[in-house]
């Protein structure tokens, strides 16, 4: 959520920047500033009335004490009228604050100056590519056919139990999945991240805190009776651990990692491009989250990008990195790098990670602040990244490592799996 004071200070600059997102902020900024002026004037009037009422109450006590009952009763009538006025102003203030907050919730983050303009994923900028795309033998299969051939993932059984998008991993498929999770967590802890085991359900406040609500409400599974949401990513519970915290500058950086299943409704996702593991309603992911001071957050983003690059190098998967354009940038992000692995059998790139800096956008919602060197309160910066999301990584391994004899296991995973080939 943007700060009102910053909107007032940088209004024209922000309007120009948000055009990269194809978002016209002119009218909404005017509404924000008008509501904020109403809020401030109402608050000032309320404060004056409460101060007058308190002063009169003290005078009334003294008048009664001195036997000046007539004067005291006149003041009592005035305080009664002030009480009514303060009640009306208090209700007006509450309504204005709510309207202002709801309006601010609809405004996306200001994109970083390096974000390219663009309408969609077609306008994203490739900034890095590494790895040789393997040449597969004739008759090579996409991962969903390999999964069936070697009996390691059963999509039909998942459909029977729950529905489409909920696969069942079996035998060596389940062990390879577990190996990836453990290896990702080990690599994160080696890099200095503290591991957390987290709730898979969060309350509405947590959803608003990290920006999934109200922006992505349609993609989240809602447990209506308890008003809880299944998490779409571990980013939500991890970052919300620090909601309403006032920290010290020496506490930073804070590095957190966690493995969770993730749940996304992905309404309207159909067709060949979402077949198999390409898009699921439930999937596993290891997330890394960092809390940083503003001056260090972009260096931290580079470190996170290097961490994910290291994972893909070790897995020896061909991949590329894209800087997302304004039209494809997530609502809460100031700058995002997407990682895509090449799926050889499908002859297409599959997104397997997003690494983002939210600057203070989430922190403003979360009321996540720290005392800086001057002992002044300042909003922290939050960052997160998938390290990694499993389904498409697994798809890439199955397709790129397939041979006539079976599917080889990446060397770094063999100690975790206990086998070196799926046959």
278 annotated as ligand-binding: no
Could you give the domains of the chain?
A: 4-106 (1.10.287), 121-422 (3.30.930.10)
CA 227 to chain centre: 20
53 annotated as ligand-binding: no
User: What is the structure's pLDDT at 83?
Assistant: 84
Cβ partners under 8 Å of residue 114, min gap 6: 323, 335
114 annotated as ligand-binding: no
- Give the residue ranges of DSSP H helices in 316-400: 361-366, 390-400
pLDDT over 90 at 408, yes or no: yes
Residues of the chain above pLDDT 70, percent: 98
For 69, the 3-state DSSP assignment is helix
User: What is the structure's pLDDT at 216?
Assistant: 83
5 annotated as ligand-binding: no
pLDDT digits (tens, 9 = 90+) for 204-260: 999 999 999 998 888 999 999 999 999 999 999 999 999 999 999 999 999 999 999
Residue recorded with tokens 């009952």:
69
pLDDT band at 270 (very low <50, low <70, confident <90, very high): low
pLDDT band at 40 (very low <50, low <70, confident <90, very high): very high
181 annotated as ligand-binding: no
CA atoms within 13 A on the CB side of 351: 18
User: What is the structure's pLDDT at 226?
Assistant: 97
What are the start-end ranges of the E strands in 104-220?
125-130, 153-154, 168-169, 194-196, 201-203
Determine contact, residues 358/382, Cβ cutoff 8 Å: yes
CA 343 to chain centre: 26
Q: Which residues pair with 289 in a beta bridge?
A: 256, 384
pLDDT digits (tens, 9 = 90+) for 350-403: 999 999 999 999 999 999 999 999 999 999 999 999 999 999 999 999 999 999
pLDDT digits (tens, 9 = 90+) for 45-87: 999 998 888 788 777 778 777 877 777 777 777 877 888 889 9
102 annotated as ligand-binding: no
pLDDT over 90 at 268, yes or no: no
CA distances from 228 to 1, 282, 331, 348 (A): 22, 17, 22, 37
Q: What is the CA radius of gyration of the chain?
A: 27
User: What is the structure's pLDDT at 273?
Assistant: 67
CA-CA distance, 419 to 214, in Å (whole number)? 45
pLDDT band at 272 (very low <50, low <70, confident <90, very high): low
The count of other CB atoms within 10 Å of the CB of residue 106 is 13
Residues in the chain: 423
Residue recorded with tokens 């947590």:
206
Residues of the chain above pLDDT 90, percent: 85
pLDDT over 70 at 295, yes or no: yes
Determine contact, residues 152/132, Cβ cutoff 8 Å: no
386 annotated as ligand-binding: no
CA 147 to chain centre: 31
User: What is the structure's pLDDT at 157?
Assistant: 97
352 annotated as ligand-binding: yes
Tell me the mean pLDDT in the region 317-329: 97
354 annotated as ligand-binding: yes
pLDDT digits (tens, 9 = 90+) for 150-180: 999 999 999 999 999 999 999 999 999 999 9
Per-residue 3-state assignment (H helix, E strand, C coil) for 88-100: HHHHHHHHHHHHH
Average pLDDT, the chain: 94
378 annotated as ligand-binding: no
> What is the pTM assigned to this prediction?
0.92
User: What is the structure's pLDDT at 271?
Assistant: 57
């Amino acid at each position: 959520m943007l700060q009102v004071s910053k909107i007032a200070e940088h209004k024209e600059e922000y309007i120009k920047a948000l055009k990269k997102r194809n978002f016209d902020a002119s009218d909404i900024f005017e509404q924000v500033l008008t509501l904020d002026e109403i809020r401030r004037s109402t608050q000032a009037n309320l404060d004056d009335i409460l101060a007058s009422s308190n002063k009169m109450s003290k005078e009334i006590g003294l008048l009664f004490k001195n036997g000046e009952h007539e004067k005291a009763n006149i003041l009592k009538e005035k305080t009664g009228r002030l009480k009514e006025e303060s009640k009306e102003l208090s209700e007006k203030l509450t309504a204005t604050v709510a309207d202002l907050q709801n309006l601010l919730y609809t405004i996306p983050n200001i994109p970083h100056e390096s974000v390219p303009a663009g309408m969609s994923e077609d306008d994203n900028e490739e900034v890095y590519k590494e790895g040789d795309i393997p040449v597969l033998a004739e008759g090579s299969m996409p991962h969903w056919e390999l999964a069936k051939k070697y009996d390691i993932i059963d999509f039909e059984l998942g459909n029977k139990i729950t529905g489409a998008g909920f696969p069942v991993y079996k035998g060596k498929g389940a062990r390879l999945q577990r190996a990836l999770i453990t290896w990702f967590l080990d690599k994160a802890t080696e890099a200095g991240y503290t591991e957390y085991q987290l709730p898979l359900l969060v309350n509405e406040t947590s959803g608003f805190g990290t920006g999934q609500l109200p922006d992505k409400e349609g993609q989240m599974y809602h447990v209506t009776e308890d008003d809880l949401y299944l998490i779409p990513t571990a980013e939500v519970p991890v970052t919300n651990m620090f909601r309403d915290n006032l920290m010290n500058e020496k506490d930073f950086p804070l590095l957190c990692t966690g493995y969770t299943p993730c749940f996304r409704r992905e309404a309207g996702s159909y067709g060949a491009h979402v077949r198999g593991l390409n898009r699921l309603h439930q999937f596993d992911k290891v997330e890394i989250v960092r809390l940083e001071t503003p001056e260090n957050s972009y260096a931290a983003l580079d470190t996170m990008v290097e961490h994910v690059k290291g994972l893909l190098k070790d897995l020896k998967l061909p991949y590329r990195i894209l800087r997302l354009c304004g039209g494809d940038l997530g609502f809460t992000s100031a700058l995002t790098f997407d990682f895509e692995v090449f799926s050889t059998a499908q002859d297409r790139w599959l997104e397997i990670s997003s690494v983002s800096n939210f600057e203070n956008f989430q922190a403003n919602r979360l009321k996540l602040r720290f005392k800086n060197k001057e002992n002044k309160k300042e909003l922290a910066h939050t960052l997160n990244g998938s390290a990694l999301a499993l389904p498409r990584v697994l798809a890439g391994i199955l397709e790129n490592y397939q041979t006539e004899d079976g599917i080889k296991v990446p060397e770094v995973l063999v100690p975790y799996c206990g086998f070196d080939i799926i046959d």
